[in-house]
Amino acid sequence: MSSEMYDLIIAGAGPAGATAARAAALQGLDTLILEKQTFPRYKPCGGALSSKATAMLDFSLPGSICERAITGARVHFKDRVLEKHKGYKLTTLIDRSRFDDLLLQKAEVAGAEKETQKVMDYSEKDGFVSVKTDKGTYQSRFLVIATGCQDGLRSRIRGRDGRDCMGICLVSDVKEDDEKIRARLADTLDIHFGVAEGGYGWIFPHRGYYSVGIGGISSRLHHPRRAMLQFLRKNGFSERQELHGHQIPQGGNNRRSALGRVLLAGDAAGFVDAFTGEGIYYALASGRIAAQVIGDASAQEADQVYERRCEKEFGAELRYALFFSKMMHRYPETFLRILACQEDVLDRYIEIAAARISYRDFMRWLIPRLPINLLRTL
């Protein structure tokens, strides 16, 4: 057992954990990050870094990570295809593996210690947390669990997620010539609704490859592999691709995300947009808030302060996203005939990705226009 008492131990070095580690180390906190995998590691992802996520970074990303600036979206629903472009960047397609590696390097440069170890368990004692890994035991004043949504550590705080609250995704990086990628999609995200129950399929034009994937709610998407192979085939790709499966939280943020000296960040807390699947922004934001709270607050209040600050920063957005996702499941035809088939609606909706408007702004804009939009769907 290490005799050192850290201020903060972080389990998991994805965007949430690495951001928490860097922010804590920059405040002078004695910080240890425990990650089970050796970085750079592959993480199944579409690789879309929204403008609001980019705005969270206090450094610029190198060209080796930023693969394409996206200015438009092409949306398919049944027989309809709609395409909208903006004269500005909506999102950046990144090399996810390099991005995560850079965030971890930044945390280490800021002074965080890193060990490649798997966190197995933890227990809270008087005034500190004891963290057990596959190689040893460590102690700290606080623990941030940022181990994503596939690890069981978080369930002691938020309980188990039912299959209605979890999405399942399959994704593949499909190699292609940049010339062909440019001719097919240029700077456009290609989104296909109706291909996966409770979700969508995507084709994102990276550099030298497409990210092709499908995702839907676990309880409804009974044959994800079959849906993925069909999606590949229908879009002219070979079915012989390496497929990577991963879960994604889709239940919103109505559970506890902190208890005592233990805080959950990123996917571990369920902080993902249930409609689009965007999670990197919420991982960055919650990781940073966790470090700030631990740096500021007294031990008794840290859990409540953390929950309040996350709620204030992005709670409403996650609830709107969940509402959108539920509407899509309940009334798919009507919902998608409005969102994915009406130019002015899509034109306004994609401004959310660019962080020009919030979901709330979008709803305020849409509600007075709903009657006319509903009539248009008839």
Ligand X SMILES: Cc1cc2nc3c(=O)[nH]c(=O)nc-3n(C[C@H](O)[C@H](O)[C@H](O)COP(=O)(O)OP(=O)(O)OC[C@H]3O[C@@H](n4cnc5c(N)ncnc54)[C@H](O)[C@@H]3O)c2cc1C
Q: Give the closest residue to 129 by CA, choosing from 114, 113, 143.
A: 143
Single out the residue of 95, 161, 197, 267 in contact with ligand X (rule: CB under 6 A): 267
Quick check: bond before 368 cis, omega within 30? no
**The sheet that has 91-94: what strands, in order across it?**
48-50, 91-94, 66-70
Interface with ligand X, residue 9, by CB under 6 A: no
- Count the helix, strand and coil residues of the chain and give each as a percent rounded to the nearest 5: 40, 30, 35
Strand-pairing partners, residue 6, are 140
118 binds ligand X (CB under 6 A): yes
Site string for ligand X, 51-80 (x = CB under 6 A): ------------------------------
Distance (Å, rounded) from C-alpha 146 to C-alpha 11? 6
Q: Which residue(s) pair with 115 in the sheet?
A: 34
x/- letters, 154..183, toward ligand X (CB under 6 A): ---------------x-x------------
Q: Which of 8, 283, 322, 336 binds ligand X (CB under 6 A)?
A: 283
- Return the number of the residue (73 or 268) whose C-beta is nearest ligand X: 268
Asked if residue 255 binds ligand X (CB under 6 A), the reply is no
Task: Count Cβ atoms below 10 Å from residue 301 Cβ, excluding itself.
Answer: 12
Options 11-19, 191-199, 288-296, 319-327: segment touching ligand X (CB under 6 A) = 11-19
Alpha-carbon gap, residue 87 to 365, rounded angstroms: 21
CB 351, min distance to ligand X, A: 17
Among 146, 229, 336, 353, binds ligand X (CB under 6 A): 146
The distance of closest approach from Cβ of residue 103 to ligand X in the complex, given in angstroms and rounded to an integer, is 9
Residue 100, number of CB atoms within 10 A of its CB: 27
Q: Which amino acid is at 275?
A: F
222 contact partners, CB below 8 Å, separation of at least 6: 197
CB of 300 to ligand X, least distance (A): 26
Question: Within positions 215 to 244, which residues make up the interface with ligand X, using CB under 6 A?
Answer: 215
Interface residues toward ligand X, by CB under 6 A: 11-17, 34-37, 43-48, 118-119, 146-148, 151, 153, 169, 171, 213, 215, 246, 248, 266-268, 272, 277-281, 283
